[in-house]
Structure 1
Amino acid sequence: VDEDTRAFDRILAAFGLPKGSDAERAARKTAIDAATKGAIEIPLRTMQVCVKSMDLMKAMARNGLPASVSDAGVGALCARSGAIAGYLNVRINCSGLEDEGFKKKVMQEAEALKGEVEALEAEVMAITLEKV
């Protein structure tokens, strides 16, 4: 959360740069783009961590204590929610970028992570529901 707040503060600071001359406008635009790209990396990392955490949820559901199998299902739901929250933030941050190459690369990764977390959540929930 703190890292995300700092990234947003950098975007606000960039928007506050002077824009009176052509040189100032160019520097401001460069700063806004750089700050926005930095802000995109944070929710993308959140998505990656959420996807990675699904391995633990699946192991818990398959091999954990019977009394905690529901916890694995809840963990999978939380991890999916975190990943989708990251996905939405990546999308909104990408919407203002003009760097189409960067935007395409990031959105492809975000879409892949979204699909992966949804599939893993379904797997964990199937195991969980089978056991409860």
Structure 2
Amino acid sequence: MTQNPKYSYKALELILDSRDVTVGGGSASAVSAAMAAGLIGMVARLSTKKDYGLSAAAHEEVAARCDVLAPELMQGSLDDMAAFAMIKAAFGLPKESDEEKQARAKAINDAAVQAALTPYENARRAMEVLELGRKIKNVSNPAAGSDLLIGLHLSEIGVKGCIMNMEANMPLIKDAEKIELLKGYIIQLNSKL
């Protein structure tokens, strides 16, 4: 397999390893959305040679934005793994004295906040990919119609999976303001699906 040097395939390699427990649905969701960005960008570029109801310049703008989002989402997958590692490390802190218990509880809370904000950022990007795909639906090259539909489905899975990942980490958060903020983000994302 030839690797494109602008992408890190480490996330994908880890997701394919069933023995690696640091990789979960949040990482997989980000990779799903990255793949969607690649497909939607490809369809947009395949639609620039003929008038399908949207200008070549508009299709090129969609493709260019997808080219930015795809590597950001691949990095977001790695960031999600790092956020999980923070939670794991926080749970491993000592808890013998009251000071240690307080420090551990704070570390768990802080790590959980990060582990919920990371998939939010990935969900936000995945939603942008979905919206770009919707923009070219029915006004793009019909020969690549199945690629576009797959991209739309993958980006929607990306958004939904990231939302589920946010929800999975929220019970560890003790900061009521952060919980309300995250709930607001989830409502906002769901309203666009």
Q: Normalised by the size of structure 1, how large is the TM-score? A: 0.82
Instruction: Report deviation, 1:61.
Output: 1.4
Tell me the secondary structure at the aligned position of residue 94 of structure 2.
Answer: coil
Distance in 1 of aligned mates of 2:162 and 2:174: 21
Tell me the secondary structure at the aligned position of residue 156 of structure 2.
Answer: helix
Q: Specify the alignment match of 1:40 in structure 2.
A: 116
Instruction: Report deviation, 1:29.
Output: 0.7
Instruction: Report deviation, 1:32.
Output: 0.8
Aligned residues: 117
Q: Which runs of 4 or more aligned residues in structure 1 lie more than 3 Å from their structure 2 counterparts after TM superposition? A: none
Cα pair 2:133 2:152 within 8 Å, conserved: yes
Tell me the secondary structure at the aligned position of residue 95 of structure 1.
Answer: helix
Tell me the secondary structure at the aligned position of residue 109 of structure 1.
Answer: helix
Q: Specify the alignment match of 1:126 in structure 2.
A: none
Distance in 2 of aligned mates of 1:100 and 1:74: 38
Instruction: Report deviation, 1:46.
Output: 1.3
**Deviation string, structure 1 residues 4-25 (Cα, Å, up to 9, x no partner):** 1111111111111111111111
Q: Specify the alignment match of 1:129 in structure 2.
A: none
Q: Specify the alignment match of 1:25 in structure 2.
A: 101
Q: Specify the alignment match of 1:130 in structure 2.
A: none
Instruction: Report deviation, 1:115.
Output: 2.3
Does 2:139 align with 1:72?
no
Tell me the secondary structure at the aligned position of residue 157 of structure 2.
Answer: helix
Instruction: Report deviation, 1:62.
Output: 3.1
Cα pair 2:108 2:172 within 8 Å, conserved: no
Q: Specify the alignment match of 2:88 in structure 1.
A: 12
Q: Specify the alignment match of 2:179 in structure 1.
A: 103
Q: Normalised by the size of structure 2, how large is the TM-score? A: 0.57
Q: 1 or 2, which has the higher helix percentage?
A: 1
Cα pair 1:19 1:28 within 8 Å, conserved: yes
The within-5 A match list for 1:52-131 is 52-116=128-192, 118=193
Q: Specify the alignment match of 2:9 in structure 1.
A: none
Percent identity of equivalent pairs: 27
Structure 1 spans left out of the alignment, 5+ residues? 119-132
Amino acid at match of 2:185: E
